[in-house]
Amino acid sequence: MTVSAPGSDKERSSSKESHPKGLYVLFATEMWERFGFYSMLAMLTLYLQNPVQGFGWTAARATSAYSTYLGFVFASPLVGGWLADRFTGYPLAITLGGLLLSAGYFLLAFPSLVILYAALTCLVIGNGFFKPSVSTMVGNLYIEGSLIKDSAYNIFYMGINIGAFVAPIVAEIVMQRYGFHPAFAVAGAGMLISLLIFWSLKRHVLVQTKQGSAKGEGVVEPIAKTKPAGDGAMDVIPDSRKILALVMIFLIVIVFWMVFFQNGSTLTYWANNNTDWTAAPVVLYLAFFLTLGTVKPDLGNVSGVISNAINPFWIIVLTFPLVAFWRWLSSKGKEPSTPAKMATGMLLTALAFYLMSLAGISGGDNGKVSPWWLIGAYALISLGELMLSPMGLSLVSKVAPARIRGVMMGGWFVSLAIGSKLTAIGVYWDVWKHSGFFLVLATLALMIAGILLALQKPLKRAMPGA
């Protein structure tokens, strides 16, 4: 159902507009779900290679399995979004997805190859139900034409990254003390907390309509309940043209995801084998203090798992300053369009991997270097991510026709799926020089940034005001 607050477009999008309580419910729901997801993801490739607790796989085989898993994880929301739109409704989809995700993490606590594949299957299906439903519900909290929807997705995205920041640190501590399998069980507990938050506070997220399904909440509507004026510039653009523009964006960002999701494979390998963590003890002690109080890490036994906390740390630090910066530009009428922000994000991603290429050269490709190389590169990657991922989610919510918004949100995750599968380029990690590997990724990102910049005018015509 398309709904909005009364008044003109300008009045509806005024600075007096504020975020509803439902945003913070979904913030917490997603935060704990991401805690489980990133606990598991931070450990997966190193677990598969571990000869004692895992399966003793080579780095290439672990990377291939990681890329295939991620590909299915991010493709599943296309089906899950369609099922949520047509049949289950978003609350039930979130519940089914959460239960399957929790089951998958708990299954990983058992050392068996058969159980491993069963667990990954649960995680894929569970993610398909959960992710598009939560992301779509965030957009549905806001009136059509809302100027704070981008801000909402940035806040939502920060919730994701709080969970993602805490997850590898907790996983590192549990793994050091008890091993991989108990650490996977902790991820399952995080997912159960996510479901508890959602169901205890869901009244703030939705209201049941009279046309709801017999099971209770098959049809939902945002909190505001009046009819939109429908006189925005976006309304006059044919649906087919808007869909085509979104598909173009989906295709372009595939390379970003291919590069970005090296964090769970080659960047983790770099952190595990080519980073001297004793060179930056203050960073590690601060990270453990912020998340676990007085718990201190064993610096001589820190694995690459811990590096997966760097990216979300930067997202947490940079989110609100960036939101404030966009607001300041908007007040002066100079805020760039969403496609322009995304192009800038690609440029920053390219710079990050050029920096990692220099790190490889400085360490002779196989030697150990300071963690500051990785920390600096992740700062650039994270800023680029903020200009791409939450912007993309907001773009789908603003541009996609309401009747297929869940499916188009699923389409965004399909772009993640293809890019994630292409992270299989990491099978060349032990074949190419590390500096050369990073150089290839940087150059690909730079090329895509150029293409996105070249397409700015046609994208703006297809998505006015986006």
Tens digit of each residue's pLDDT (9 = 90 or more) over 84-143: 988 999 999 999 999 999 999 999 999 999 999 999 999 999 999 998 899 888 888 887
Share of the chain above pLDDT 70, in %: 88
CB neighbour class for 68 (10 Å; exposed up to 12, middle 13-18, buried from 19): middle
List the one residue out of 427, 413, 418, 411 whose CA is nearest residue 71: 418
List the one residue out of 259, 274, 422 whose CA is nearest residue 354: 259
Pairing of strands 207-208, 220-221: antiparallel
Rg, Å, the chain Cα set: 22
Band of residue 395 on the pLDDT scale cut at 50, 70, 90: confident
DSSP per-residue string spanning 25-66? HHHHHHHHHHHHHHHHHHHHHHHHH-TTTS----HHHHHHHH
CA 122 to the chain's CA centroid: 19
Cα(388)–Cα(103) distance, integer angstroms: 31
Domain map of the chain by residue range?
Answer: 18-208+217-222+235-462
CA torsion 411-416-421-425 (nearest 10°) is 140
The mean pLDDT value for 137-159 works out to 80
pTM: 0.83
pLDDT surpasses 70 at 403 = yes
The mean pLDDT value for 325-351 works out to 91
Quick one: DSSP state of residue 219?
S
Band of residue 296 on the pLDDT scale cut at 50, 70, 90: low
Cα(172)–Cα(291) distance, integer angstroms: 12
Model pLDDT, residue 293: 61
Report which of residues 465 and 277 the model is more confident about: 277
pLDDT surpasses 70 at 219 = no
- The answer to whether residues 259 and 444 touch, using CB atoms and an 8 Å cutoff, is yes
User: Which of these CATH numbers, 1.10.10.10, 3.90.1150.10, 3.40.630.10, 1.20.1250.20, describes 18-208+217-222+235-462?
Assistant: 1.20.1250.20
pLDDT tens-digit readout, 201-217? 988 887 432 223 333 33
- The answer to whether residues 43 and 187 touch, using CB atoms and an 8 Å cutoff, is no
- The answer to whether residues 138 and 222 touch, using CB atoms and an 8 Å cutoff, is no
Cα(23)–Cα(154) distance, integer angstroms: 11
Model pLDDT, residue 226: 43
Quick one: DSSP state of residue 222?
-
C-alpha distances (whole Å) from 332 to each of 324, 391, 394, 465 are 13, 20, 22, 15
pLDDT surpasses 80 at 5 = no
Report which of residues 334 and 235 the model is more confident about: 334
